[in-house]
């Protein structure tokens, strides 16, 4: 009898300790994800409005920041890469100035366009910056980037860890593709770092920020239509195996320029985000608890004529169309639906228990 009483007492103490510990974990965190601003200041030669509204990138990002500042209780902002046109110092400075207007901390990840062009002679004003210099411009208010690093982990709220991956590689021109390489991977030393970080934080809620996706979003991404295999990492399966092993809850990415969508793979929810500078210009507001995520996708504030131009240039573009998006009324409809992702403007998911 006495033994049972002791076990009962131990159980009560354990429950008290557990609830004591949990009471300190984050309860609800509101944050915003912006992606692919591709900042190109209009004063530079060669900047124009095409699929990306080059002349308006600065204004669109400024408007987004002003709007985010009006949303109550936002704790931080994530930028999912392709921060600049092609890593030009003047564009880095312009973006830094805009982001410093945010009332809350921000965390960035580099995109393929945040590495200088190779060869850079293709540009009128060639400047080559190392990616460490580009990343270094965003140390400071973000508190995330560490000197000499392009990936990091940061406990952004109690028991909520943000892991920022750098999947970029140099924008080398690839003659067979007729394009600059826009793909990526996580190199072996970063993989080792990632496993150590995930192991250390496996009792916490871990989310990942990356520019290049870990999953394909369309058939064309799988079949390499227009080199679209570069929209997701070469070693995505290897990275996802680690995320599964350590129960990572969510991945936030950009690069694909489609409006917010998600898919669940082995218990991890992968979210892709729209660009603020290409149609449909949007950003996403999230609310996270240790149990799940809610989101609301918002339009970037811009004049009706800017929206008209963005849509017109989007419809005129051939490269971003999938094999099932011919330039016919039906093809245009499918093309619009794929990029607008109308069914996931708002949503909610419940996190899964880790899949071992
Ligand atoms: Fe982009
Ligand atoms: Fe990109």
User: At 65, which CATH number?
Assistant: 3.60.21.10
pLDDT at site 21: 47
Taking the centre of ligand 1 as the mean of its atom positions, its distance from the CA of residue 324, in whole angstroms, is: 22
Instruction: Quote the CA–CA distance of 125 and 45 in Å, as a whole number.
Output: 9
Residues with CB under 5 Å of ion ligand 2 are: 82, 111-112, 255
Instruction: Quote the CA–CA distance of 68 and 75 in Å, as a whole number.
Output: 11
Helices (H), the chain: 2-22, 57-70, 89-99, 131-136, 188-200, 219-223, 236-245, 304-316, 329-340
Q: Is the residue at 12 inside a domain?
A: no
User: ∠ CA 33-37-43 to the nearest 5 degrees?
Assistant: 150
Instruction: Quote the CA–CA distance of 22 and 16 in Å, as a whole number.
Output: 10
Instruction: Quote the CA–CA distance of 91 and 93 in Å, as a whole number.
Output: 5
Instruction: Quote the CA–CA distance of 57 and 148 in Å, as a whole number.
Output: 28
pLDDT at site 25: 86
Instruction: Quote the CA–CA distance of 103 and 248 in Å, as a whole number.
Output: 28
- Which sign, positive or negative, has the C-alpha torsion 145, 80, 101, 286? negative
Instruction: Quote the CA–CA distance of 168 and 211 in Å, as a whole number.
Output: 8
Instruction: Quote the CA–CA distance of 39 and 160 in Å, as a whole number.
Output: 30
Domain that residue 50 falls in: 25-350
Taking the centre of ligand 1 as the mean of its atom positions, its distance from the CA of residue 255, in whole angstroms, is: 5
Counting ligands in written order, the one closest to the CA of 212 is: 2
Taking the centre of ligand 1 as the mean of its atom positions, its distance from the CA of residue 303, in whole angstroms, is: 22
Taking the centre of ligand 2 as the mean of its atom positions, its distance from the CA of residue 297, in whole angstroms, is: 20
Q: Which helix (H) or strand (E) holds 314?
A: helix 304-316
Taking the centre of ligand 2 as the mean of its atom positions, its distance from the CA of residue 162, in whole angstroms, is: 20
Number of domains in the chain: 1
CA-based end-to-end distance of the chain? 39
Q: Is the residue at 19 inside a domain?
A: no
pLDDT at site 340: 98
Phi, psi for 32 (deg, rounded to 5): -125, 140
Query: Tokens in use for 47?
Result: 């900047």
Taking the centre of ligand 1 as the mean of its atom positions, its distance from the CA of residue 275, in whole angstroms, is: 7
Phi, psi for 195 (deg, rounded to 5): -65, -40
Q: Is the residue at 2 inside a domain?
A: no
Instruction: Quote the CA–CA distance of 117 and 112 in Å, as a whole number.
Output: 10
Taking the centre of ligand 2 as the mean of its atom positions, its distance from the CA of residue 291, in whole angstroms, is: 30
DSSP state of 302: -
Instruction: Quote the CA–CA distance of 81 and 106 in Å, as a whole number.
Output: 12
* DSSP states along 313-336: HHHH-STT--TT--SSHHHHHHHH
Taking the centre of ligand 2 as the mean of its atom positions, its distance from the CA of residue 250, in whole angstroms, is: 20
Give the pTM: 0.92
Task: Spell out the per-residue pLDDT of the chain, length 356, in tens.
Answer: 455 555 565 555 545 444 444 457 899 999 999 999 999 999 888 899 999 999 999 999 999 999 999 999 999 999 999 999 999 999 999 999 999 999 999 999 999 999 988 876 666 666 789 999 999 998 866 667 778 899 999 999 999 999 999 999 999 999 999 999 999 999 999 999 999 999 999 999 999 999 999 999 999 999 999 999 999 999 999 999 999 999 999 999 999 999 999 999 999 999 999 999 999 999 999 999 999 999 999 999 999 999 999 999 999 999 999 999 999 999 999 999 999 999 999 999 999 887 66
Cβ-contact 178, 50 below 8 angstroms: no
Instruction: Quote the CA–CA distance of 157 and 26 in Å, as a whole number.
Output: 6
Q: Which helix (H) or strand (E) holds 299?
A: strand 292-299
Reported in sequence order, the residue ranges of 2-110 that DSSP labels E, i.e. its strands, are: 29-34, 74-79, 106-108
Q: Is the residue at 137 inside a domain?
A: yes
Taking the centre of ligand 2 as the mean of its atom positions, its distance from the CA of residue 324, in whole angstroms, is: 22
Instruction: Quote the CA–CA distance of 171 and 178 in Å, as a whole number.
Output: 12
Taking the centre of ligand 2 as the mean of its atom positions, its distance from the CA of residue 209, in whole angstroms, is: 14
Q: Is the residue at 20 inside a domain?
A: no
Q: Is the residue at 109 inside a domain?
A: yes
Q: Is the residue at 291 inside a domain?
A: yes
């Amino acid at each position: 009898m006495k033994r049972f009483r002791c076990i009962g007492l131990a159980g009560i103490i354990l429950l008290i300790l557990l609830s004591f510990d949990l009471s300190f974990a984050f309860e609800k965190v509101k944050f915003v994800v912006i992606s692919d601003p591709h900042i190109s200041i209009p004063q530079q030669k060669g900047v124009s409005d095409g699929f990306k509204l080059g002349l308006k990138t600065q204004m669109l990002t400024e408007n987004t920041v002003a709007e985010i500042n009006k949303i109550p209780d936002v704790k931080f902002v994530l930028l999912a890469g392709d921060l600049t046109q092609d890593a030009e110092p003047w564009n880095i400075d312009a973006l830094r100035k805009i982001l410093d207007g945010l009332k809350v901390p921000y965390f960035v990840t580099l995109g393929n366009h945040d590495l200088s062009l190779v060869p850079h002679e293709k540009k009128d004003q060639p400047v080559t910056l190392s990616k460490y210099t580009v990343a270094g411009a965003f140390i400071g208010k973000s508190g995330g980037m560490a000197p000499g690093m392009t990936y990091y982990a940061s406990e952004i709220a109690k028991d909520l860890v943000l892991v920022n991956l750098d999947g970029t590689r140099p924008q080398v021109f690839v003659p067979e593709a007729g394009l600059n390489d826009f793909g990526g991977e996580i190199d072996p030393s970063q993989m080792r770092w990632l496993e150590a970080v995930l192991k250390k934080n496996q009792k916490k809620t871990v989310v990942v920020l990356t520019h290049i996706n870990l999953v394909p979003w369309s058939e064309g991404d799988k079949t390499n239509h227009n080199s679209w295999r570069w929209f997701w990492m070469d070693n995505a399966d290897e990275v996802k195996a680690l995320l599964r092993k350590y129960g990572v809850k969510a991945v936030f990415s950009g690069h694909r320029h489609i409006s917010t969508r998600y898919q669940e793979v082995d218990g991890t929810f992968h979210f892709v985000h729209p660009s603020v500078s290409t149609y449909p210009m949007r950003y996403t507001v999230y609310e996270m608890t240790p149990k799940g995520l809610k989101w609301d996708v918002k339009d970037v504030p811009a004049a009706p004529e800017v929206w008209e131009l963005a849509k017109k240039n989007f419809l005129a573009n051939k490269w971003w169309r999938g094999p099932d998006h011919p330039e016919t009324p039906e093809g245009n409809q499918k093309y619009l639906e794929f990029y607008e992702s109308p069914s996931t403007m708002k949503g909610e998911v419940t996190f899964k228990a880790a899949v071992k």
